[in-house]
Structure 1
Amino acid sequence: MVQLSRFTCRAFACLAFAALAVVHAPARADDTSAWQGVKKAGVLRCGAAVAPPYVMRDPKTGEYSGFFADLCRNFGQNVLKVKVEFVDTTWDNIVAGLQSDKWDLSMALNQTPEREKAVSFSTPATDYNVSFVYNKNNPKVPKGAHGIADIDKSDLTIAVMSGTAQDKAISAAFKQARIMRLPGNDETRLALMSKRADLLADANITNMLLTEAHPDWAAAIQPTPPLAQQEVAFGLRKETSAADLTVLNNYVNAQVKSGAVDKLIKTSVQAMLVANK
């Protein structure tokens, strides 16, 4: 009789534990939602690697601007109804930091097959390809150059931000030119302007800023066919649910369709031009 009572108690204990697990299962499922976690924390963390006009940072104030920064800020404040925090990073760490939960969204991430293995992507906010800015007075750069073969020469040096999509693109496309990998946008521009580099490889929109700011000496080569034509989107952790991804995609699609993204791009470009005067 004593043995039966013990057995019965164990059985009831197991049933009670199972029932408790069933009751709490939905709560744990909800906790895995990216946006539920963000709302609980009260802040959306945006991983920010500088790449004007996508993502810009005022060196004096530390304030972030640029059209992807604006998109991330608006998504956090207007959709999720939380504060927004920008977390400094580099293009070498933009994916690793996302994977290790240092931020919730990586901004202005090129959607490459390599990155798709590591992270998920939102619907694109804009597209991207690589162009090359050079000094029009540099005799080493052939006049009328329009393709990779025209500038893939052993006596030419190309500056590029390390770890970026453009770094990977030119590393695969160029066989003879020397590639100078530098940590940031300021360093690559300085290398070109100081003539340590002959060309600057960067996103087409970013290079447009440079040529418009310095029309007296800066010119751009837009390769034919386009080099590394890709889409630019937000990066999210691979385990992000389809429901969470839909929330972000609906927001991005609405911004693109309404023309808001185009307006943000123009505003960012103008801000850069004013800052460079």
Structure 2
Amino acid sequence: MVRLLRLKPYALLCLVAVASMSINMQSRADDQTAWQTVKKAGVLRCGAAVAPPYVIRDPKSGAYSGFFSNLCRDFGQNVLKVKVEFVDTSWDNIVAGLQSDKWDLSLALNDTPEREKAVSFSAPATDYNVSFVYNKNNPKFPKSPQSLTDIDKSGLTVAVMSGTSQDKAISAALKQAQIMRLPGNDETRLALISKRADLLADANITNMLLTESHPEWAVAFQPTPALAQQEVAFGLRKETPTADIDVLNKYLAQQVKTGAVNRLIKESVQSMLVTNK
């Protein structure tokens, strides 16, 4: 027979007190907001996958620029009053890294229904859609394409960054053209310039850099209606309290209203053009 342990009243009270203390400690831990955690750590970690002019990384110094990088830096330094650290990542890992707490914010993340299942989003900083850049001297397709059917042909190759929103958009839209998936922006541009690819699919703002850098041959084609029209925002962990998201949204609303975001976009584009000369 198993003998039941009989606790004296004072021992039982001690157990109740310990249990209550544990619950209160856990409650206080749960009550700590995302920004309180960041402030306690003294650093805001920004997950950054390169996508000029949204996110630019100097290959020599490793320094980050681009208008989303600058927004993250300004928010951390001037709103949260902490240091800002950029964490290198890729577009294939930008959501998973956020979920596993490798950083606090993901930069320049397209707000899609699929991603909303995994992470939360701030208010948008800018809009996004997919455009295509091609060499106007390429004899494989019409000089002035009017629709996706003009470029969705066997024998045409479209370069795109793997794992991005533009990758998913053209994968669903193009049925005949071959899709060349490459790891980064530099690789996709090189594929177009070297004529291994006939077109480059990328964000409309990003492609503007290419057409302005090479006006002698680069032409942008933007389908109508717009392909994959979305909002570009900061990504946050799914469990981020609404109050924390509101703090970030208030900051972004001010930056948009004052024209600061538009100025940052223009500065980033001009900086890239000067660098590429």
User: Could you tell me which residue of structure 1 aligns to residue 3 of structure 2?
Assistant: none
User: Could you tell me which residue of structure 2 aligns to residue 260 of structure 1?
Assistant: 260
Tell me the CA shift for residue 36 of structure 1.
1.2
183-192 or 248-257: which moved more? 248-257
Aligned residues: 272
Deviation string 1:39-81 (CA, Å, 9 cap, x unpaired) is 1111111000000000001111111000000000001101111
User: Is the Cα contact below 8 Å between 1:141 and 1:198 reproduced in 2?
Assistant: no
User: Could you tell me which residue of structure 1 aligns to residue 168 of structure 2?
Assistant: 168
* 1:12 aligned onto 2:18: no
Tell me the CA shift for residue 143 of structure 1.
1.9
Tell me the CA shift for residue 30 of structure 1.
3.3
Give the 3-state SS of the residue equivalent to 2:8 in structure 1: helix
Deviation string 1:116-169 (CA, Å, 9 cap, x unpaired) is 111100000000000000001101121220211110000100000000000000
The alignment yields a C-alpha RMSD, in angstroms, of 1.3
User: Could you tell me which residue of structure 2 aligns to residue 107 of structure 1?
Assistant: 107
In the TM superposition, what are the counterparts of 1:93-242 in structure 2 within 5 Å? Answer: 93-242=93-242
User: Could you tell me which residue of structure 2 aligns to residue 27 of structure 1?
Assistant: 28
Give the 3-state SS of the residue equivalent to 1:50 in structure 2: coil
Distance between the aligned counterparts of 1:275 and 1:173, measured in 2?
34
User: Could you tell me which residue of structure 2 aligns to residue 90 of structure 1?
Assistant: 90
Distance between the aligned counterparts of 2:154 and 2:246, measured in 1?
48
Give the 3-state SS of the residue equivalent to 1:172 in structure 2: helix
* 1:69 aligned onto 2:32: no
Give the 3-state SS of the residue equivalent to 1:155 in structure 2: coil
% identical equivalent positions: 75
Deviation string 1:85-136 (CA, Å, 9 cap, x unpaired) is 0011110111011111111100000011111111100000000000000001
User: Is the Cα contact below 8 Å between 1:182 and 1:188 reproduced in 2?
Assistant: yes
Tell me the CA shift for residue 24 of structure 1.
3.0
Give the 3-state SS of the residue equivalent to 1:225 in structure 2: coil
Distance between the aligned counterparts of 2:246 and 2:52, measured in 1?
27
User: Is the Cα contact below 8 Å between 1:147 and 1:223 reproduced in 2?
Assistant: yes
Distance between the aligned counterparts of 2:20 and 2:96, measured in 1?
39
The TM-score with structure 1 as length reference comes to 0.95
Distance between the aligned counterparts of 1:141 and 1:103, measured in 2?
44
Tell me the CA shift for residue 23 of structure 1.
4.6
Give the 3-state SS of the residue equivalent to 1:17 in structure 2: helix
**2:194 is aligned with what amino acid?**
S
The TM-score with structure 2 as length reference comes to 0.95
Deviation string 1:210-250 (CA, Å, 9 cap, x unpaired) is 00111000001010110000000000111111111111111
Tell me the CA shift for residue 26 of structure 1.
4.7
Tell me the CA shift for residue 9 of structure 1.
1.3
Distance between the aligned counterparts of 1:123 and 1:190, measured in 2?
34
Tell me the CA shift for residue 14 of structure 1.
3.2
Distance between the aligned counterparts of 1:55 and 1:206, measured in 2?
10
